[in-house]
Copies of this chain bind each other. A is one copy, B any other.
Amino acid sequence: MANKSKALLALELGRAVIEMRSRSRQFIQARIKENQLNITYEMLEVLMCLWEKDGINQQEIADNIIKEKASMTYLLDNLVKRNLVNRMPDGNDRRNNLIHLTTQGKDLQEKLLPWAMEMYTAASKDLTLEDIIASTQLIKQLTKNIQ
């Protein structure tokens, strides 16, 4: 009975999680639309990863933002099309592409990163460091339990 109850709570947590994701996306997309930028939230996630560390391979990006490698192909195609990133073969390992920001891609940082930080800051308003950490740990444990 306690297990059933915990399971149902986990279900509710899963629902809360989906809604949070959806709202995050909408928050950023609204800004992007206001400013008539031709990118999406998902592309922003890739850019954010590259702003932090440029010139890494696709698998590293995928690992960082929790996406499947097949999705990376699609997203990077779109970013390349918009001249925000370039793919370059990796001389050290021919299986890899290294993904580099273009000048345009770099220039977007000063506008877009503050929006993202603004969102995360607003989201975490009134929440304590400790509580956020505890929740993250719980969610990670939950994921590990079904690995």
Contact present for B120 and A23 (CB under 8 Å): no
- Residues 112-133 of A at the B interface (beta carbon under 8 Å): 116-117, 119-127, 129, 131-133
Q: Count residues on chain A whose CB falls below 8 Å from chain B CBs.
A: 53
A residues whose Cβ falls under 8 Å from a Cβ of B: 2-24, 27, 65-66, 116-117, 119-127, 129, 131-136, 138-143, 145-147
Complex A-B: 29 CB contacts under 8 Å: A3-B124, A5-B129, A7-B124, A8-B120, A9-B124, A9-B129, A9-B132, A10-B120, A10-B121, A10-B127, A10-B132, A14-B20, A14-B120, A16-B140, A17-B17, A18-B21, A19-B140, A19-B143, A20-B140, A22-B66, A23-B146, A24-B146, A123-B143, A123-B146, A126-B145, A127-B141, A127-B145, A132-B138, A134-B134
